[in-house]
Amino acid sequence: MGVSAAGKSTVGHLLSKALDIPFYDGDDYHPQANKDKMASGQPLNDHDRQGWLESLNALANATLQKDGCILACSALKESYREILSHRLGHRTDWVLLHGDFDLLRDRMQVRNGHFMPQSLLQSQFDTLEKPVYGLYLDVKQSPESLVNAIVNYYRQTSFGLIGLGVMGSSLARNLARKGVRLSLFNRHVPGKEEKVAEKATQTFPELADAQAFDNLEAFVLSIQRPRKIFLMINAGKAVDAVLDDLVPFLDFGDVVMDGGNSHYADTLLRMDKMGKVGVRFLGVGVSGGEEGALHGPAIMPGGDAVGYQIVKPYLRAIAAKDKHGSPCTTYVGKGGSGHFVKMVHNGMEYAEMQLLAELYQCMRFAAKMSPEAIAQVFEQALQTEAESYLLEITTRILQHRTGDVLTLDDILDQAAHKGTGNWTTVAASQLGEPATVLTAALNARYVSANKDKRVQAAQMYDFATQNAVVTDVGSILQAYQSARWIVHHQGFSLIQKAAETYHWELDFRELARIWTNGCIIRSRMMEQLAEMVDGTSILLHPNVVAYLKANKEHLKAFVLQNTAAGWPIPCFSAALDFMNAFTQAESPANLIQAQRDLFGAHGYRRKSDHAAESHHTIWTTLNKT
């Protein structure tokens, strides 16, 4: 690509011989009307170019069924390049031939028989939008030197991935299926981790053509510049150690992505650290587990905006697709925003899982329903607005048997956690944003972890639980759906508070959209949010208000019945408590402010005072009537 007279045709013909693949000159495919317009001294507009670019894209797509091709095209704008590369995946390498205006003007003066007049050269320079990706070559070099540089670039890989655990190897396979030429690296630990990358290329057919390394310098040098390197390693000190090892081998403008569950504050520090050496850093939230990584996760990149543009085609290619076919990924925002929203996603995931656990407990142990009967109820719920990925997999779990035994019944009742749920609660506290249901789900896991103490306490207290008769399954499903609306409200409200505090410019509707597929909390409710969330409180949206006004009594009845019967339902209870508090115009918080003022002289505001002044009372003087 490049402006007229950059040497695209000359270099293309020579490159065709060097690589033994066909060359097509885009100029040969201009309709005669375009040629006549340019010959008359008039530059082409976007409308003139549309059909021409589409025909070149069709040509490129056709050659992909064989050995590919080399295509010469000015490709002056990013929008033109998007048309040219439509549905080409990552079988596309861009090379910009660029040169000084005077040099190219002189070339045009001695060029014979071309429809492009010299007078249009400036208009091409004015139109050119240089890409942030690809290979830049100065045409002052000889054509042979340019070809050698392109051949070396072509033989390098286009993407690097570090860390070949379950998630890393699955993402690598996903990338390879999209035609990405990969370099793979895994650390070498004698006796524990040896030739991991090489073994991955031998184990998975998709990775057979990937280059495997356990030498970091060789790995980095194998990747095209600007390098695109994805870290899929454990969050924490390991990330900093790998970055320290990488830096000596990286060049200005390279892009490094952290795809682990790192803390958003750490991501901000790493972004600053890498920026000082000219490396663009992104914190990338990836949700979907092993299956999502392999077939299409939801991807939440935040950080360096230019770096995102460089890796955008790759992330879009491997992401899940929403119901309209658009990739479930978007640039989230600046700083640590990508990892923050992934953290909150996980906090919401905890709450959604706990709600289902409490629902299961009520139906199986309080109401004495069989697992098969519960699964049947859940299968029917999947056809309603309650549909979600977590509900779907719960239905599968309730029907899975190991021999004659329900597999679930042999699983120890201690729920583990990896830190993101804890971070969500801490962040909510730091930002002063209530996330009560999310926190209740986290605390429920903490309680479950104390298995020995729970068994001992059950024997010592011997509290009896009562049976509960579920006369209306529809009612408890409405209670469940009501609690879920409160979970989503709290999650999005926390993200909104962070955006305001850290000055992130987030698109909440777009965020909801990328959570409609690929991620763990994908659901029909999220699809509704993708069409209605706008940064205001979800519980104040007319549709949600109407739903909760009609169904709050179901939530209340569920909580009262189970609490009275002695069954712990922390998330349902927290949801009801929050709903009661959120809809209370007058709260008892004035008493708390009075108490604070009495013992600490913290002051308070008066209802009758419209100004935000602080008042203090000498409470030892009692004014009695």
Catalytic residues: 342, 349
> Exposed, middle or buried, 456 (CB in 10 Å: 0-12/13-18/19+)?
exposed
Question: Could you give the residue ranges of the DSSP H alpha helices within 247-365?
Answer: 264-275, 289-295, 305-318, 337-361
In angstroms, the CA 533 to CA 526 distance is 10
In angstroms, the CA 99 to CA 275 distance is 29
Q: What is the DSSP letter of 183?
A: E
- Beta-bridged to residue 6, according to DSSP, are none
* Count of C-beta atoms within a 10 Å radius of residue 83: 16
Q: What is the DSSP letter of 30?
A: S
Query: Which backbone phi and psi does 182 adopt, to 5 degrees?
Result: -110, 145
In angstroms, the CA 606 to CA 228 distance is 57
Report the chain's terminal Cα–Cα distance, integer Å: 88
Burial letters for 507-529: b for 16+ Cβ neighbours within 10 Å, e otherwise?
A: bbebbbbbbbbbbbbbbbbbbbb
Q: What is the DSSP letter of 43?
A: P
How far, rounded to the nearest angstrom, does the alpha carbon of residue 571 sit from its chain's CA centroid?
A: 26
In angstroms, the CA 338 to CA 262 distance is 10
Query: Which backbone phi and psi does 522 adopt, to 5 degrees?
Result: -65, 145
Residues contacting residue 227 through CB under 8 Å, at least 6 positions apart: 160, 220, 250, 251, 254, 255
Q: What is the DSSP letter of 409?
A: G
Among 487, 480, 404, 394, which residue's Cα sits nearest to residue 439? 487
Structure-block tokens of residue 316: 């879009």
Q: State which amino acid sits at residue 498.
A: A
- Beta-bridged to residue 185, according to DSSP, are 162, 213
- Beta-bridged to residue 97, according to DSSP, are 137
In DSSP notation, 560-582 reads: HHHHHTT---HHHHHHHHHHHHH
Tell me the CA distances in angstroms from 227 to 88, 110, 280, 334, 436, one per residue in order: 20, 39, 10, 21, 43
User: How open is the CA angle 266-267-272, to the nearest 5 degrees?
Assistant: 100
User: How open is the CA angle 312-315-321, to the nearest 5 degrees?
Assistant: 115
Phi-psi region at 316: left, alpha or beta (left = phi > 0; alpha = psi -120 to 50): alpha
Structure-block tokens of residue 165: 């655990």
Place of tokens 């749920």: 421
In angstroms, the CA 430 to CA 445 distance is 22
